[in-house]
Structure 1
Amino acid sequence: MLSAATPGTGITAEAPAPKPRYSFRKLTWSDEFNYTGRPDSTKWRYEVGGDGWGNKEQQYYTNHRPENARVEGGYLLVEARREALMPGNAYTSARLVSRGPGGSQTYGRFEVRARLPAGRGTWPAIWMLPDENTYGNKSWPDNGEIDIMEHVGYDANVVHATTHCKTYFFRLNNQKTGTTLLPDATTAFHTYAVEWTPETITAEVDGQLYFATRNEGTGWEAWPWNKPFHLLLNVAVGGEWGGLKGIDEAAFPQRLEVDYVRFYALKKE
């Protein structure tokens, strides 16, 4: 470690260590959706149910149902539909979770090219949760969440990137978040990405940075992002945020269309 004399004191102090530099060039996991039919079962699993998912959402997430999740024309389609398939739920949709070797990772770049659904009441998300809950009460939000992209249909073309943890989360109204306007978010494809290092989490759209949060060094309560996380893709309907201004029933069906998903490893330069 280099040292330097503090001016006017004669005291020698350690110079601050240089900030680490990282690259994200090595592809570790991906799905290019260059096939037809159900999502690849070696890469994706379904989370199923219709109990509101903690947000008073109105959809039922189905299991291996092509009407709600399928690959065609080179795209993954996650489709929310107005249909009372299950009692108590007026809509169906799908919630896909990355799985298998490489489907979760600690640190790196996580990139998804997608076109978002439109319509009041839609709430698509591209986001990440931990593989295991080890901190605090072993549940959300203590173990962290990384939202690469969220969009609510009543606020069209405004996308959000957010992190939640014990110290900072939405029920305390102090979550770390950033927003950006994409005038064609629901009509064109954009690349949504997060770069996650031991020191920072940043988010961008089409290479343009619009969100950053830094590790404060105060412990897991403010920074639980030091263990493997996996990716989730879903379209919720209604809910405390998505349904804040009601649901346009005539807008359905609506799709989240995904061109590709790619994970890259972090490398210290």
Structure 2
Amino acid sequence: MVLSLSRRRRALAIAAAVITAVPLAVAATMSANASVPSTPPGWTLQWSDDFNGAANTLPSSSNWIFDLGHGYPGGPGNWGTGEIQNYTNSTNNIKLDGSGNLRITALRDGSGNWTSARIETQRANFRPPAGGKLAIEGRIQMPNVTGNAALGYWPAFWALGQPYRGNYWNWPAIGEFDIMENVNGINSVWGVLHCGVNPGGPCNETNGLGASRACPGASCQSAFHTYRFEWDESVSPKALRWYVDGQQFHSVNQNQFDATTWNNMTGHAGYFLLLNLAMGGAFPNGVAGFGTPTAATVPGHSMVVDYVAVWSAGGGGTTPPTTTTTTPPGGSGWDAFSDMQAESATARNGGTIEAAEGGQAVAQLRNGNSLRFSGTRFGSRTATQFLARVASGAAGGVSGLVEVRLGSPTAAPIGSFAVGNTGGWQSWRTIPANIAGVSGTQDVYVTFTSGQPNAYVSVNWVRFGT
């Protein structure tokens, strides 16, 4: 979905064929809360979320990052696609339904403003083992709305290359796999690959290389269907394949690309997964032939996700079943008493990566952002102090807390310090804070809390002391 503007010209022709040539069929459907399927022989389950939990609660923050607003900080506006909604983490827009499903709901207020939700996995290293295969699968019901009432609805299940985190301007080289896209309530699933350069290149950007088909049996809107993407490095040429309910409808092979394009797309740490329900933008507008949503569009419909799962098979090993997106020093967790570089955090929610003090830092952090350092090793030493290298060019009166939490970004802080303007965004200071004693191995979260919405701190590194 990133910057995929003119590919919607292709969608016009495909959508017209789907509408005129494919009758809607009715078929029996599986239950709405089927479990993640059993792992077949030869495969290993790497990660999954069954969306089990209490009704009206948010999905797990250990699994998911909430994307908020109209774009990544420092990235293209309207998420690069022209979509108009404001993404929130309100349970009005995103929640577990208590029956094993995630519901992402698009709403319109009395002033005509739309809200919805978009989440991405904390983990960003999904890739096949060398010489093996990776499968990404989700069981999803598209918003159950059609015709004029559906104009502007744009549900999607997709993946982006890990280097996009913190850059936001290296698309499409880092790769994008659109596993399921749909617009305007049409009974069709689109699968698209984005790669190379924009415009043009081997992926025909900004269109991408795509295909579509009607959902088997019941329509995409009226029932759950299983959408699957496979990245297969066990064959020659290597292949990417798209499926709906086990039926392949799209594929591309390595021999369609030059070596640089393929390596840029597949040679990095891996991919993170996204689920979102957009409103309006280039794809639905292009298919409709006019701007969407319209006054006839009916709010309140949901994309319903039963599960998301990732498997690997073959090769010399399996993708490590950890949540790391980078390899920390030592290869087996972070040393609590050495500098832990912010830009290399296991996972990051918010901020942008910028140059700092001869290296890099995570800049422009604000209320609700966080850094995660999984498997931080304190050993038998008890840490009683937390130190962070920070800078701030925040305006007068804008400040906030830098907090340390263990195990969860919502756990009670074990220590914190306040920070405001330090003299500029490149004016760095090391600030200590006393903390409750910590030992052993811990998942450390550095969280940022402020009473204002403005960015108030950048972080170069963090470490612990005794």
Instruction: Report SS of the residue matched to 1:221.
Output: helix
Quote the residue 1:247 is aligned against: 293
Quote the residue 2:174 is aligned against: 143
Q: Residues 49-60 of structure 1 correspond to what in structure 2 (within 5 A)? A: 49-50=69-70, 51-60=77-86
Quote the residue 1:192 is aligned against: 227
Is the Cα contact below 8 Å between 1:24 and 1:109 reproduced in 2? Answer: no
Instruction: Normalising by structure 1, report the TM-score.
Output: 0.81
Q: Residues 46-195 of structure 1 correspond to what in structure 2 (within 5 A)? A: 46-50=66-70, 51-62=77-88, 64-72=89-97, 73-83=99-109, 90-100=113-123, 104-107=125-128, 108-117=134-143, 118=145, 119-133=150-164, 139-153=170-184, 156-166=186-196, 167-169=201-203, 171-173=205-207, 175-182=208-215, 183-195=218-230
Task: Pick the structure with more strand per residue.
Answer: 1
Question: Cα deviation per residue 1:20-62 (whole Å; 9 max; x = unaligned)?
Answer: xxx8621110001111211011000111122311111110111
Query: In 2 relative to 1, CA 68–24 (structure 1 residues): closer, same or farther, beyond 3 Å?
Result: farther
Instruction: For 1:235, give the aligned amino acid.
Output: L
- Distance in 2 of aligned mates of 1:111 and 1:129: 15
Match of 1:230 among 268, 272, 293: 272
Quote the residue 1:260 is aligned against: 307
Shift of 1:222: 4.6
- Distance in 2 of aligned mates of 1:140 and 1:254: 30
Instruction: Report SS of the residue matched to 1:56.
Output: coil
Instruction: For 1:122, give the aligned amino acid.
Output: Y
- Distance in 1 of aligned mates of 2:169 and 2:189: 29
- Number of residue pairs aligned between Structure 1 and Structure 2: 237
Quote the residue 1:218 is aligned against: 258
Shift of 1:194: 0.3
Shift of 1:150: 0.4
- % identity of equivalent residues: 30
- Distance in 2 of aligned mates of 1:130 and 1:171: 16
Gaps of 5+ in 2: 1-40, 71-76, 129-133, 317-466
Quote the residue 1:19 is aligned against: none
Is the Cα contact below 8 Å between 2:152 and 2:279 reproduced in 1? Answer: yes
Shift of 1:197: 2.1
Query: In 2 relative to 1, CA 140–44 (structure 1 residues): closer, same or farther, beyond 3 Å?
Result: same
Question: Cα deviation per residue 1:242-267 (whole Å; 9 max; x = unaligned)?
Answer: 23323244411121100000000131
- Distance in 1 of aligned mates of 2:156 and 2:42: 23
Q: RMSD in angstroms over aligned alpha carbons?
A: 2.3
Question: Cα deviation per residue 1:62-109 (whole Å; 9 max; x = unaligned)?
Answer: 1x2111110012100011111279xxx821011100114xx5311310
Query: In 2 relative to 1, CA 169–92 (structure 1 residues): closer, same or farther, beyond 3 Å?
Result: farther
Is the Cα contact below 8 Å between 2:162 and 2:174 reproduced in 1? Answer: no
Shift of 1:138: 5.9
Quote the residue 1:4 is aligned against: none
Instruction: Report SS of the residue matched to 1:241.
Output: helix
Which structure has more relative contact order (CA 8 Å, sep 6+)? It is: 1
Further displaced range: 103-112 or 218-227:
218-227
- Distance in 2 of aligned mates of 1:71 and 1:132: 30
- Distance in 2 of aligned mates of 1:40 and 1:186: 26
Match of 1:28 among 46, 70, 73: 46
Instruction: Normalising by structure 2, report the TM-score.
Output: 0.48
Question: Cα deviation per residue 1:108-149 (whole Å; 9 max; x = unaligned)?
Answer: 100000000131110111000011149xx9611111100000
- Distance in 1 of aligned mates of 2:169 and 2:282: 24
Instruction: For 1:212, give the aligned amino acid.
Output: S
Shift of 1:153: 1.1
Instruction: Report SS of the residue matched to 1:264.
Output: strand
Instruction: Report SS of the residue matched to 2:259.
Output: coil
Instruction: Report SS of the residue matched to 1:53.
Output: helix
Is the Cα contact below 8 Å between 1:106 and 1:226 reproduced in 2? Answer: no
Instruction: For 1:59, give the aligned amino acid.
Output: Q
Instruction: For 2:60, give the aligned amino acid.
Output: D
Instruction: Report SS of the residue matched to 1:152.
Output: coil
Match of 2:243 among 204, 222, 236: 204
